[in-house]
Structure 1
Amino acid sequence: MGPARPVATPSSIPADELYTNRELSWLGFNRRVLAEARRKAYPLLERLRFLSISGSNLDEFVMIRVAGLAGQMQRGISKTSIDGRTPSQQLSAIRKAIRDLERQQQAVWRELRALLGDAGIHVADEDRLDPESRAWLKDYFERHVLPVLTPQAIDPAHPFPFVANQGMGLLFNLTRLVDKQRVVEMILIPSALPRFVRLPGEDAHYIPVERLIVRYANLVFPGFRIEGDGVFRVIRDSDIEVEEEAEDLVRLFRSAIQRRRRGQVIMLELDAEFDPEAEALLREQLGLENAMVIKTDGIIGVEGLADVVDEDRPDLKFDPYSPRYPERIMEHDGDCFAAISEKDIVIHHPYESFEVVVDFVRQAAKDPDVVAIKQTLYRAGKQSAIINALIAAAEAGKSVTAVVELKARFDEEQNILWASQLERAGVQVIYGFVDWKTHAKVSMVVRREGDEYRTYCHFGTGNYHPITARIYTDLSYFTADPRLTRDAARLFNFVTGYVEPRKTEGLVISPIAMRDTIYANIDREIANQRNGRPSGIWAKINSLTDRGIIDKLYEASAAGVPIRLVVRGICCLKVGIPGVSDTIEVKSIIGRFLEHSRIWAFANGYRLPSPRARVFISSADAMSRNLDRRVEVMVPIRNRTVHDQILEQVLVANLLDTEQSWLLKPDGEYERAVPGEKPFNLHRYFMTNPSLSGRGQALAEDQIPRLALRRGARS
């Protein structure tokens, strides 16, 4: 055992020096997303995609997080954040950061717009239009836009129209020519209209629909002189509160979705040239007492630029990537059950196809020996092969249970639709707990094999969603291990019948035992370090906000345990605090794919990476909501091959990456990692070496390059 280390107890350090504010950390993450739009190594339309993503991210943040703080302030709630700020103090700092982020977005947009023009894609550049294009544009407006517009006068006889969440509109200050009367008119832009109108031709010309309406406003208002105009966009409170005593969850959510569209205004975006009289009227009518108002000299609603990203210019996008179908399944002629029966399998999405997860359920639906299927559904998308397979299974007479989570934010409406379709097909649909979200990703198939029944399970770190599976990095773990499959049955009984398992044989379930399990594993590392044995903690998660987990990691660091964390988004933990967190390293990885898998690795008395390390995959992040208010799973990886693949390939690659990584500094800011003489890009590595699915022999034969960390003081 080494010399005793001086320990500064966290309680002796001010909260703002010990923790980073959750909301400001998220805004820092979105700045890192926006920074990808400046990367000259990326194709131009991919850079535009990152700008658009930063806009849609910010919209959701305002609708949920800023709205929540505004609501707390209005209700007089003074509960402080992890760093000791009141809701009003947080809002003040957030608004300043949002304004700064919006200025950065517009600066990036100006840069990209010029580069796009050089590449033959012209956006909001009407000066380049020739007479033929102008004639086409006017004809398009008259035939496709004008008929769906509804101008509305703003006066005592016409109530101020309701502006929907994320709705965009225009106000016109007009003079009626016959009597010189001043009139204010509003046009709300119908959501059915395209955000950008593309003119025909080889060179791409995109005109924002709001600019098109302003250009031909004289056709909307004949007999008026246009004195001024302005474009605006509204962001409303979109959170849904669930009443714990609700008698009918479906009915509650249907009404809540309607209320969401009418939530209070949280942010108003205006163009910089907005007519002053019209602006004063708009501010008065929308009731902006606690709302944030942003004026921009660029484009309003940068998330809409995703439409331009769809331009058919493969030369300006990443080279297409087609995930490989797992070889282990193909070796068994596509028979998922035969492959899983032989040995556990891990699939690494999106490098390996999500289709294998769909095929697992499809095969179960068609297999006459399958008697039951149980499935959790958090997000499944609008076109879901999983849903179709469950319906087919029920129609084939199998016992099918689907746990549909109605509280999946912004997917509530789609999930209500899926639930009704499943019920019509004979699926037993369960909505889980009223006050807890069921966020676990589990599929369970019971199959008759001879005189016995055998259960097969899929545990995932991501959703059963075919679109996100192409861009989110996630792990799918298939097993027929009786200990885990029995636990899966206990999990479903817990959700469907509230039968809390007294104990499990491997699976860790929140909110029952996950927090205690993580604490116990950290305590084991502390004990090993103090007893002179090797110790270490590696984790890959999306967010780290839970104070209990952070304090336990601080305790481990104070004891000398080396800790390496890959935290993509929010991180409230601070590094480099003497005696508290000086053995902790944190990095965030942003790139072509969205890092989404959750993995924990504990050294367990051996030097990481080690075959004897304790490794878990999970559906949960290190957030209080995941540990205390959600049904989640944490799966121990006991199969040696799968263990090595997750630890020595996936985790090690994340730690080795230098091209997509940002390093957390003691001041809470991030800086890009220096690629160095031997740069490593984990996305490129897995795209060129995509098949990890159970290929123990292939790994042994070095058909997949082995990764190794450079040994150092903290490895």
Structure 2
Amino acid sequence: MDDLRRLPRAMNAPDPVATTGAVEAPEDRYVNRELSWLAFNRRVLAEAENENYPLLERLRFLSISASNLDEFTMIRIAGLEGQASRGIESTAIDGKSPAQQLEAIRHEMVGLEQRQQAALDTLCGLLAQEGIEIASIAQLDEGEIAWLEDYFSTDILPLITPQAIDPSHPFPFVANMGMGAIFRLKRGKRKAPLIEMVLIPAGVPRFVRIPGDAATYVAIEHIITHFAELMFPGFKILGDGLFRVLRDSDIEVEEEAEDLVRFFRTAIQRRRRGRAVLLELDDECDEGAEALLREQFDVDAAMIVKTKGMLGMRHLAAICNESRPDLKFAPFDPRYPERILAHDGDCFGAIREKDLVVHHPYESFEVVVDFLRQAAADPAVVSIKQTLYRAGDQSPVIAALIEAALEGKAVTAVVELKARFDEERNIHWATELERAGVQVIYGFTEWKTHAKVSLVVRREDDGYRTYCHFGTGNYHPVNARIYTDLSFFTADPAFGRDAAKLFNFVTGYVEPTALEQLAISPLGLRQKLYDLIDREIAHAREGKPAAIWVKMNSVTNREMIDKFYEASAAGVEIHMVVRGICSLRAGVPGLSENIRVKSIIGRFLEHGRIWAFANGQELPSRKADLFITSADAMSRNLDRRVEVLVPITNKTVHDQVLGQVMLANILDTEQSWSLGADGEYHRMHLGSEGPDAGFNCHHYFMANPSLSGRGSALKAQEVPRLSLGNRA
């Protein structure tokens, strides 16, 4: 591990696409964003098929892939369908029209959903061998069925409402992600058949666990259909079926909206009633009931999916909570930085000594919370400013800000109402903050404030000192245990002055000038990156070492991709770790032969964003220019969001972010997929033992302390140093 000799290569990757001269056709230069996202979700699903993972973790990955696909349908497919229906012919980066994209997406989705159902069948069989069963009622014994019947009568029947559908009972509204059962009934020989619908309340458990040592679960929709005669006494059930609906869930902000809070409260209600985009049916749905559903939901025929398996697999996550540690990843407790503990837990003392970076989730998010809690309780703190994009349901960050306001400190919170699917929660937190006396700002109407920044001003013996936190992720305590992110703390006055200008920009539209350290989008961040790339191009043309290392969640912006192509053509060596969408084509002769792209999918969600520029030296080098950022290489981040690009100059922090975090991501083989010139991803290497064993960056970080957080208490502990060794 100490000296890894070769950069990893994809196993069985095809030869680069043969090209001659410049590559001009859009489909040969770029990968469609939507198709690249579907490729990402296939990689997530592959983790559910990964035999090296514990079974309940595989089930969790399956539920994640299903949840991802739901959101993709509600946002991306809905948007493309809206464009197609309005006759909008604007093309995607690869030249496809909305209609062409929809056709390609639907083809890919069929295969993805079939793989999901096959994965569920496999996992159900394996879990049953371990005493966890997702059972049909036909598999239960008489005692279990009797218990379910009693449970249906006492716990389910009072909650559900059968609704007849006829001229005097119009078709009921089905909310977004709503699921229901539909029945065709008959009573008496002369009366016509009757259609009845039962909507499953959103608040009830999707899976009911039958009491006993064995973990036997039954889906609530199967309980309802099995015991339907108890709902409809005197009726004969001629047929039934299950269905689920996904609706258009995007919210378009009107620039002329006079009151953002009121606008979003109304928009959230509209989203629940958005246009139906996808209708899922079980394969055995009654023909008459199916015809009615097709007519009422008015969904494009191509977006009606019939399946022999389970509808709404996102809810499988509930079964993953079963108390079976033997079927889950080994527990991991985040470390608390020793350097802060060496200062008796005083975050300000540790930061004042020198800059510090906290690597989540390997190091505890409690550091961020403690930073704000100490600020709230410290009588020397006079002011706190905080951006909030996603904060979660039980937010200790919100609690700290409220406590600070109640202690009489000047507290400002920039709450982003446009954080998708968190709008309602953010409105709630904004209300709570205002009640406590926090000055709540909602930022720009047309731009999201996506930057993650805390600013604390403290009165000290030598005057006022500003402490800053810059993050690549959200102030969300649950995500911080799953997402890999970086939290950078500094008391450098230049960062404090720049952060103050950032807040003045968001709260008062005062455009920042003469920034000393930060670059801010949508003002100068893009140009800053262009200038750094141009410098690497110049170094390559002068024969100096020239390289760029990038870690991102998504790369879709055409101009940025073209800049990478320009650098590749000049001889700049580019290594990119892009977890999700990548519209760039890698390794194409005449276009991108010096660019290598990989995606890491594993136990933790790679979320941190890092840029490293060689600056005339071989990477990794202490002379490299290094940055962390809240922005991906997407048009929305570069042009329509408030983001920050933060330089890392402290020696120890620089070593950690570049020589530990970034390098380990580049060296990883066990969780990595390499992007080929054909636009396809190929798994690099699954774990094995012995000299041919791969490298797992998540295992490395869990086993080794970070550099900047070690402190004097860990000086004797040698952290294995990573090395590129001989380049492949």
Query: Can you list the C-alpha shifts for 1:177-201, whole angstroms capped at 9, x where unaligned?
Result: 3644311111111112110000000
| CA shift in 2, pair 1:486/1:8, >3 Å | farther
Partner of 2:205: 194
Question: Are 2:664 and 1:638 equivalent residues in the alignment?
Answer: no
1:495-644 to structure 2, matched below 5 A, reads 495-644=506-655
Counterpart amino acid of residue 126 in structure 2: L
Partner of 2:350: 339
Query: Can you list the C-alpha shifts for 1:432-490, whole angstroms capped at 9, x where unaligned?
Result: 00000000000000000025100000000000000000000000000001111110000
2-side partners of 1:699 and 1:679: how far apart?
28
| CA shift in 2, pair 1:435/1:8, >3 Å | farther
| Structure 2: stretches of 5+ with no match in the other structure | 1-18
| 1:691, distance to aligned residue in structure 2 (A) | 3.4
| 1:13, distance to aligned residue in structure 2 (A) | 1.6
2-side partners of 1:161 and 1:59: how far apart?
22
1:8 touches 1:580 (CA, 8 Å); kept in 2? no
| CA shift in 2, pair 1:513/1:8, >3 Å | farther
2:180 touches 2:200 (CA, 8 Å); kept in 1? yes
Question: Are 2:693 and 1:678 equivalent residues in the alignment?
Answer: yes
2:74 touches 2:249 (CA, 8 Å); kept in 1? yes
| 1:132, distance to aligned residue in structure 2 (A) | 1.6
| CA shift in 2, pair 1:276/1:690, >3 Å | farther
Q: 2:719 aligns with which of 697, 704, 713?
A: 704
2-side partners of 1:348 and 1:692: how far apart?
10
Question: Are 2:226 and 1:211 equivalent residues in the alignment?
Answer: no
2:342 touches 2:711 (CA, 8 Å); kept in 1? no
Partner of 1:371: 382
2:470 touches 2:489 (CA, 8 Å); kept in 1? yes
2-side partners of 1:420 and 1:702: how far apart?
48
2:206 touches 2:315 (CA, 8 Å); kept in 1? yes
1:530 touches 1:559 (CA, 8 Å); kept in 2? yes
Greater RCO, 1 or 2 (C-alpha within 8 Å, sep 6+): 2
1-side partners of 2:377 and 2:726: how far apart?
50
| 1:211, distance to aligned residue in structure 2 (A) | 0.1
Partner of 1:449: 460
2-side partners of 1:520 and 1:381: how far apart?
37
Give the match's secondary structure for 2:258. Answer: coil
1-side partners of 2:274 and 2:138: how far apart?
39
Give the match's secondary structure for 1:586. Answer: strand
| Structure 1: stretches of 5+ with no match in the other structure | 1-6
1:169 touches 1:231 (CA, 8 Å); kept in 2? yes
1-side partners of 2:357 and 2:315: how far apart?
37
Partner of 1:4: none
TM (norm. structure 1) is 0.97
1-side partners of 2:297 and 2:87: how far apart?
22
Give the match's secondary structure for 1:615. Answer: strand
| CA shift in 2, pair 1:698/1:97, >3 Å | farther
Partner of 1:440: 451
1:587 touches 1:663 (CA, 8 Å); kept in 2? yes
| CA shift in 2, pair 1:333/1:210, >3 Å | same
2-side partners of 1:434 and 1:118: how far apart?
54
2:339 touches 2:712 (CA, 8 Å); kept in 1? no
1:271 touches 1:295 (CA, 8 Å); kept in 2? yes
| 1:689, distance to aligned residue in structure 2 (A) | 0.9
2:106 touches 2:302 (CA, 8 Å); kept in 1? no
2-side partners of 1:396 and 1:590: how far apart?
44
Partner of 1:246: 257
| 1:497, distance to aligned residue in structure 2 (A) | 0.3
2-side partners of 1:517 and 1:462: how far apart?
21
2:671 touches 2:685 (CA, 8 Å); kept in 1? no
Counterpart amino acid of residue 604 in structure 2: F
| CA shift in 2, pair 1:629/1:592, >3 Å | same
Counterpart amino acid of residue 217 in structure 2: Y
2-side partners of 1:521 and 1:9: how far apart?
27
Partner of 1:474: 485
1:168 touches 1:233 (CA, 8 Å); kept in 2? yes
| 1:135, distance to aligned residue in structure 2 (A) | 1.2
Partner of 1:47: 58
2:60 touches 2:316 (CA, 8 Å); kept in 1? yes
| 1:517, distance to aligned residue in structure 2 (A) | 0.7
| CA shift in 2, pair 1:177/1:313, >3 Å | farther
Query: Can you list the C-alpha shifts for 1:322-366, whole angstroms capped at 9, x where unaligned?
Result: 101111110000000000000100000000000000000000000
1:16 touches 1:83 (CA, 8 Å); kept in 2? yes
2-side partners of 1:364 and 1:345: how far apart?
17
Give the % identical residues.
66
Partner of 2:439: 428
Counterpart amino acid of residue 213 in structure 1: I
Q: Give RMSD over aligned pairs.
A: 1.5
Runs of 4+ in 1 over 6 A off after TM superposition: 696-700
Partner of 2:135: 124
Counterpart amino acid of residue 668 in structure 2: D
2-side partners of 1:124 and 1:549: how far apart?
50
1:323 touches 1:690 (CA, 8 Å); kept in 2? no
1:123 touches 1:206 (CA, 8 Å); kept in 2? yes
Counterpart amino acid of residue 618 in structure 1: T
Query: Can you list the C-alpha shifts for 1:166-223, whole angstroms capped at 9, x where unaligned?
Result: 0001110111136443111111111121100000001011000000001100001111
Partner of 1:662: 673
| 1:697, distance to aligned residue in structure 2 (A) | 6.5
| 1:698, distance to aligned residue in structure 2 (A) | 8.0
2-side partners of 1:595 and 1:242: how far apart?
29
Partner of 1:106: 117
2:342 touches 2:713 (CA, 8 Å); kept in 1? no
Partner of 1:230: 241
Partner of 2:309: 298
2:453 touches 2:470 (CA, 8 Å); kept in 1? yes
| CA shift in 2, pair 1:563/1:701, >3 Å | farther
| 1:19, distance to aligned residue in structure 2 (A) | 0.3
| 1:701, distance to aligned residue in structure 2 (A) | 5.5
Question: Are 2:192 and 1:176 equivalent residues in the alignment?
Answer: no
Partner of 1:74: 85
| CA shift in 2, pair 1:353/1:662, >3 Å | same
Q: 2:402 aligns with which of 387, 391, 395?
A: 391
2-side partners of 1:635 and 1:287: how far apart?
49
Give the match's secondary structure for 2:627. Answer: strand
Give the match's secondary structure for 2:357. Answer: strand
Query: Can you list the C-alpha shifts for 1:83-103, whole angstroms capped at 9, x where unaligned?
Result: 000000000100111111100
| CA shift in 2, pair 1:290/1:429, >3 Å | farther
| 1:290, distance to aligned residue in structure 2 (A) | 6.8
1-side partners of 2:198 and 2:361: how far apart?
43
1:17-28 to structure 2, matched below 5 A, reads 17-28=28-39
| CA shift in 2, pair 1:711/1:264, >3 Å | same
| 1:8, distance to aligned residue in structure 2 (A) | 7.6
| 1:287, distance to aligned residue in structure 2 (A) | 1.4
2-side partners of 1:310 and 1:16: how far apart?
44
2-side partners of 1:146 and 1:249: how far apart?
40
Question: Are 2:275 and 1:264 equivalent residues in the alignment?
Answer: yes
1-side partners of 2:138 and 2:719: how far apart?
54
| 1:128, distance to aligned residue in structure 2 (A) | 3.2
Query: Can you list the C-alpha shifts for 1:603-626, whole angstroms capped at 9, x where unaligned?
Result: 000000000000000000000000
2-side partners of 1:169 and 1:688: how far apart?
47
2:181 touches 2:199 (CA, 8 Å); kept in 1? yes
Partner of 2:496: 485
Give the match's secondary structure for 2:239. Answer: strand
Counterpart amino acid of residue 685 in structure 2: V
1:604 touches 1:614 (CA, 8 Å); kept in 2? yes
Query: Can you list the C-alpha shifts for 1:666-709, whole angstroms capped at 9, x where unaligned?
Result: 11110100358131100011111143334377897662111111
Partner of 1:3: none
